[in-house]
Amino acid sequence: MRTQNELTTRFSRAFHTHRHIGWITATLALTLLVMATGCNTGNPFMRMQPNYAALPVEELRAMANQIEQAVAQGDRDAVFPDQGAVTVDTTQLRQAIRTRAARAELLHELLAAGYLKEEKSGLVGIERNRAYTQATTRRERDRHAMVVMGENRDRWTLYEGIVKENNYASRNLSAIQAIFHEARLAHLPSNAIYDALDPAMLP
Protein backbone atom coordinates (compact mmCIF):
# COMPACT_ATOMS: atom_id res chain seq x y z
CA MET A 1 0.00 0.00 0.00
CA ARG A 2 1.37 3.42 -0.96
CA THR A 3 2.16 5.83 1.85
CA GLN A 4 0.67 9.32 1.97
CA ASN A 5 4.04 10.82 1.01
CA GLU A 6 4.26 8.61 -2.09
CA LEU A 7 0.77 9.60 -3.18
CA THR A 8 1.55 13.27 -2.62
CA THR A 9 4.74 12.99 -4.68
CA ARG A 10 2.94 11.24 -7.55
CA PHE A 11 0.19 13.84 -7.53
CA SER A 12 2.72 16.67 -7.60
CA ARG A 13 4.53 15.14 -10.57
CA ALA A 14 1.27 14.59 -12.41
CA PHE A 15 0.22 18.19 -11.74
CA HIS A 16 3.45 19.66 -13.07
CA THR A 17 3.35 17.36 -16.11
CA HIS A 18 -0.20 18.46 -16.86
CA ARG A 19 0.76 22.10 -16.48
CA HIS A 20 3.70 21.67 -18.88
CA ILE A 21 1.45 19.97 -21.43
CA GLY A 22 -0.87 22.96 -21.10
CA TRP A 23 1.99 25.29 -21.98
CA ILE A 24 2.88 23.13 -24.98
CA THR A 25 -0.73 23.10 -26.15
CA ALA A 26 -1.03 26.86 -25.82
CA THR A 27 2.25 27.41 -27.65
CA LEU A 28 1.21 25.07 -30.47
CA ALA A 29 -2.13 26.83 -30.78
CA LEU A 30 -0.44 30.21 -31.06
CA THR A 31 2.01 28.86 -33.62
CA LEU A 32 -0.87 27.66 -35.77
CA LEU A 33 -2.54 31.04 -35.37
CA VAL A 34 0.56 32.84 -36.60
CA MET A 35 0.84 30.49 -39.56
CA ALA A 36 -2.82 31.03 -40.39
CA THR A 37 -2.41 34.81 -40.50
CA GLY A 38 0.20 34.34 -43.20
CA CYS A 39 -2.02 32.34 -45.52
CA ASN A 40 -3.96 35.17 -47.12
CA THR A 41 -1.36 36.58 -49.46
CA GLY A 42 1.69 34.38 -49.22
CA ASN A 43 3.82 31.90 -47.37
CA PRO A 44 4.89 32.78 -43.80
CA PHE A 45 8.55 32.53 -44.84
CA MET A 46 10.53 34.34 -47.48
CA ARG A 47 11.22 31.48 -49.87
CA MET A 48 11.38 33.41 -53.10
CA GLN A 49 13.38 36.28 -54.50
CA PRO A 50 11.69 39.57 -53.57
CA ASN A 51 9.67 40.95 -56.46
CA TYR A 52 9.77 44.75 -56.60
CA ALA A 53 7.91 45.04 -59.89
CA ALA A 54 5.47 47.99 -59.91
CA LEU A 55 6.26 48.88 -56.28
CA PRO A 56 7.04 52.48 -55.20
CA VAL A 57 10.20 51.31 -53.47
CA GLU A 58 11.45 54.64 -52.12
CA GLU A 59 8.04 55.55 -50.72
CA LEU A 60 7.79 52.14 -49.08
CA ARG A 61 11.26 52.55 -47.62
CA ALA A 62 10.29 55.93 -46.19
CA MET A 63 7.17 54.43 -44.61
CA ALA A 64 9.10 51.43 -43.23
CA ASN A 65 11.75 53.72 -41.73
CA GLN A 66 9.10 55.84 -39.99
CA ILE A 67 7.28 52.81 -38.61
CA GLU A 68 10.39 50.99 -37.38
CA GLN A 69 11.73 54.14 -35.74
CA ALA A 70 8.44 54.71 -33.90
CA VAL A 71 8.30 51.06 -32.82
CA ALA A 72 11.90 51.12 -31.57
CA GLN A 73 11.15 54.26 -29.55
CA GLY A 74 8.05 52.67 -28.06
CA ASP A 75 5.89 55.47 -29.49
CA ARG A 76 2.36 54.08 -29.37
CA ASP A 77 0.77 57.31 -30.55
CA ALA A 78 2.87 57.91 -33.66
CA VAL A 79 1.03 59.01 -36.78
CA PHE A 80 2.13 57.84 -40.20
CA PRO A 81 1.04 60.13 -43.03
CA ASP A 82 0.83 58.62 -46.47
CA GLN A 83 4.11 58.41 -48.34
CA GLY A 84 3.04 59.23 -51.87
CA ALA A 85 0.55 56.51 -52.70
CA VAL A 86 1.60 54.27 -49.77
CA THR A 87 -0.84 54.17 -46.85
CA VAL A 88 -1.09 52.32 -43.54
CA ASP A 89 -4.11 54.28 -42.40
CA THR A 90 -6.41 51.48 -41.27
CA THR A 91 -7.50 50.48 -37.78
CA GLN A 92 -5.93 47.05 -38.11
CA LEU A 93 -2.53 48.35 -39.22
CA ARG A 94 -2.44 51.13 -36.64
CA GLN A 95 -3.23 48.62 -33.90
CA ALA A 96 -0.51 46.22 -35.08
CA ILE A 97 2.06 49.02 -34.99
CA ARG A 98 0.83 50.22 -31.58
CA THR A 99 1.09 46.72 -30.12
CA ARG A 100 4.60 46.30 -31.49
CA ALA A 101 5.62 49.61 -29.92
CA ALA A 102 4.23 48.42 -26.57
CA ARG A 103 6.47 45.33 -26.55
CA ALA A 104 9.51 46.98 -28.15
CA GLU A 105 11.49 47.38 -24.92
CA LEU A 106 11.13 43.72 -24.00
CA LEU A 107 11.99 42.61 -27.54
CA HIS A 108 15.06 44.88 -27.46
CA GLU A 109 16.21 43.27 -24.20
CA LEU A 110 15.82 39.76 -25.61
CA LEU A 111 17.74 40.71 -28.76
CA ALA A 112 20.50 42.32 -26.69
CA ALA A 113 20.75 39.15 -24.59
CA GLY A 114 21.31 37.09 -27.74
CA TYR A 115 18.14 35.08 -27.22
CA LEU A 116 16.50 36.20 -30.47
CA LYS A 117 17.52 36.68 -34.07
CA GLU A 118 16.13 39.07 -36.67
CA GLU A 119 15.59 36.94 -39.74
CA LYS A 120 15.64 38.00 -43.38
CA SER A 121 12.02 36.90 -43.67
CA GLY A 122 11.11 40.01 -41.69
CA LEU A 123 10.23 37.89 -38.66
CA VAL A 124 12.06 37.32 -35.39
CA GLY A 125 13.09 33.90 -34.13
CA ILE A 126 14.41 32.34 -30.94
CA GLU A 127 18.02 31.17 -30.89
CA ARG A 128 17.35 27.68 -29.57
CA ASN A 129 20.80 26.54 -28.59
CA ARG A 130 22.48 25.14 -25.48
CA ALA A 131 23.57 28.56 -24.22
CA TYR A 132 19.99 29.82 -24.37
CA THR A 133 18.64 26.74 -22.62
CA GLN A 134 21.22 26.97 -19.86
CA ALA A 135 20.64 30.69 -19.29
CA THR A 136 16.85 30.49 -19.03
CA THR A 137 14.16 28.54 -17.24
CA ARG A 138 11.37 26.66 -18.97
CA ARG A 139 8.88 29.29 -17.82
CA GLU A 140 11.06 32.07 -19.25
CA ARG A 141 11.37 30.24 -22.56
CA ASP A 142 7.60 29.84 -22.70
CA ARG A 143 7.19 33.57 -22.11
CA HIS A 144 9.77 34.38 -24.78
CA ALA A 145 7.88 32.16 -27.23
CA MET A 146 4.67 34.06 -26.51
CA VAL A 147 6.42 37.40 -27.09
CA VAL A 148 7.92 36.21 -30.38
CA MET A 149 4.65 34.81 -31.67
CA GLY A 150 2.80 37.99 -30.79
CA GLU A 151 5.44 40.10 -32.51
CA ASN A 152 5.41 37.97 -35.64
CA ARG A 153 1.63 38.04 -35.75
CA ASP A 154 1.68 41.85 -35.73
CA ARG A 155 4.43 41.98 -38.35
CA TRP A 156 2.41 39.73 -40.62
CA THR A 157 -0.64 41.90 -40.12
CA LEU A 158 1.48 44.85 -41.22
CA TYR A 159 3.09 43.20 -44.25
CA GLU A 160 -0.10 41.66 -45.58
CA GLY A 161 -2.13 44.75 -44.73
CA ILE A 162 0.18 46.94 -46.79
CA VAL A 163 -0.17 44.58 -49.74
CA LYS A 164 -3.95 44.55 -49.41
CA GLU A 165 -4.64 48.22 -48.66
CA ASN A 166 -2.34 49.46 -51.41
CA ASN A 167 -3.59 46.95 -53.98
CA TYR A 168 -0.21 45.33 -54.57
CA ALA A 169 0.14 41.89 -56.07
CA SER A 170 0.61 38.95 -53.71
CA ARG A 171 3.98 38.30 -55.36
CA ASN A 172 5.19 41.61 -53.86
CA LEU A 173 4.82 40.36 -50.28
CA SER A 174 8.43 39.15 -50.01
CA ALA A 175 9.62 42.59 -51.16
CA ILE A 176 7.64 44.25 -48.35
CA GLN A 177 9.28 41.83 -45.90
CA ALA A 178 12.75 42.70 -47.21
CA ILE A 179 12.12 46.46 -47.08
CA PHE A 180 10.99 46.30 -43.45
CA HIS A 181 13.86 44.01 -42.47
CA GLU A 182 16.30 46.49 -44.00
CA ALA A 183 14.66 49.39 -42.12
CA ARG A 184 14.66 47.48 -38.82
CA LEU A 185 18.41 46.79 -38.79
CA ALA A 186 19.23 50.41 -37.96
CA HIS A 187 17.35 50.13 -34.67
CA LEU A 188 18.75 46.86 -33.33
CA PRO A 189 21.03 46.59 -30.29
CA SER A 190 24.68 46.77 -31.32
CA ASN A 191 25.24 43.10 -30.44
CA ALA A 192 21.99 41.76 -31.92
CA ILE A 193 22.02 38.64 -34.07
CA TYR A 194 20.51 39.21 -37.50
CA ASP A 195 20.49 38.07 -41.11
CA ALA A 196 22.13 40.45 -43.53
CA LEU A 197 20.22 40.71 -46.77
CA ASP A 198 22.02 39.57 -49.87
CA PRO A 199 22.40 42.53 -52.25
CA ALA A 200 20.44 40.52 -54.79
CA MET A 201 17.44 40.68 -52.46
CA LEU A 202 17.43 44.48 -52.43
CA PRO A 203 15.98 46.69 -55.16
pLDDT of residue 123: 98
Find the domain containing 52 and state its range: 4-201
φ/ψ of residue 117, rounded to 5? -135, 130
Tell me the residue type at 43: N
Full-model pTM? 0.78
Q: Domain tally for the chain?
A: 1
Inter-CA distances, 5 with 12, 66, 152, Å: 10, 61, 46
Note the pLDDT tens digit of each residue in 94-145. 999 999 999 999 999 999 999 999 999 999 999 999 999 999 999 999 999 9
Does residue 42 surpass a pLDDT of 60?
A: no
